A = this chain, B = another copy of it.
Amino acid sequence: MTAAETEVKALLDGWSGATRSKDIDRLMSHYAQDAVYYDLVAPLRFNGADAIRRNFLRWFDTWQSAIGVELRELNILVSGDVAAAFTLHRTSGTLKDGREVDYWVRATVCAQRSDRGWLIKHEHISVPADLKSGRVIIDAVP
């Protein structure tokens, strides 16, 4: 791993660690103020750190347990001040309504190096869909 790849890996470790413990301030410290987020849920995009923070707080509030995070098939591209990472991301745990959940999403993270170090400028999280039935495919496994 190059030095830059190690830095981007540290960003991703901070990102998944803060998600796991639902530490909103630590998590948001990894996002640029003008980040654009395409989430699993509507709307099409969340523009800016304030909107992204509110959406994370809404999501964190649905969990009773810590949020289980596992990454698989992680790839990192980095050159100069831009990095792109993509990975399969397993999310698991217990929701406040008592349901045990365990599902895989696809995650793409695009980051830029700034005076504050590497910051996420864009994130894209999704699951595939069955367009014929109009149903989300939440049980796809790698």
Contact = CB atoms under 8 A, between A and B. Distances in A.
A142 B114 CA distance: 29
A38 B86 contact: yes
Given A110-B86, A122-B75, A134 B131 contact: no
Interface string A62-92: 0000000000010101111111101010000
Contact of A38 (B77, B126, B135, B136): B126
Give this chain's copy count: 2
A140 B45 CA distance: 10
Interface of A: 36, 38-45, 73, 75, 77-84, 86, 88, 104, 106, 108, 110, 112, 121-122, 124, 126-131, 134-138, 140-142
